[in-house]
A and B are shown apart, each in its own frame.
Chain A
């Protein structure tokens, strides 16, 4: 399963919204439930799912879901 699909499934689960469809350009402004508190849950769920850890510096650089997925791909490959 590609990384975006896996991340999409995590968003659906954490944000409890089956209608979420992420793209590379999706940002928090595009997803109503994605706020500062749920962002923490999302990042932790992603780190657990992909068995990796990001630093606060790394995640601050993400401008959209695509950049998040690129970082995940770079770390797991």
Chain B
């Protein structure tokens, strides 16, 4: 049983294969993500990675890194608080915030920090134990 108060950590790198895979799969070629000059004109140091790449990491964590594979995501919300750039190394921290035994549902609070220990995203996710 995954107890409230338990914390999990997982490291992810936003590398070329993930970035290109995302662009080529979902076809979001907005210049903020694909054009360095455009991104710099908007005040960013370089191309900003798609926020939903982080949701892919969350999907990986829930599906592959928990002590059980008997899970389904019910809901999640995420706030992007700082930009993520290509080759950033992100540490995902997942805290088990609550457990509802009646319906076997876990609530997590999570955040991502980059290699400079800057929080780049945070959110909550609810999963069912099936």
Contacts and interface: CB of A to CB of B under 8 A. Distances in A.
**Interface-central residue, B100, B102, B105, B128, by most chain A CB under 10 Å:** B102
Contact of A47 (B75, B100, B104): B100
A25 interface: no
Nearest to B72: A37
Interface string B110-130: 000000000000000010100
B16 interface: no
Interface residues of A, number: 13
Contacts of A54: 102
Contact of B101 (A37, A39, A53): A53
A59 B102 contact: yes
18 contacts: A39-B103, A40-B105, A41-B74, A43-B100, A43-B102, A44-B100, A44-B105, A44-B126, A47-B100, A53-B101, A53-B102, A54-B102, A55-B101, A55-B102, A56-B101, A56-B103, A56-B104, A58-B102
A56 B104 CA distance: 8
Chain B binding surface SS class? strand
Kindly state the interface size class of chain B when it binds its partner. Answer: 10 to 19
Contacts of A41: 74-75
Contacts of B101: 53, 55-56
A37 B100 CA distance: 14
Nearest to B128: A40
B103 A59 contact: yes
Nearest to B104: A56
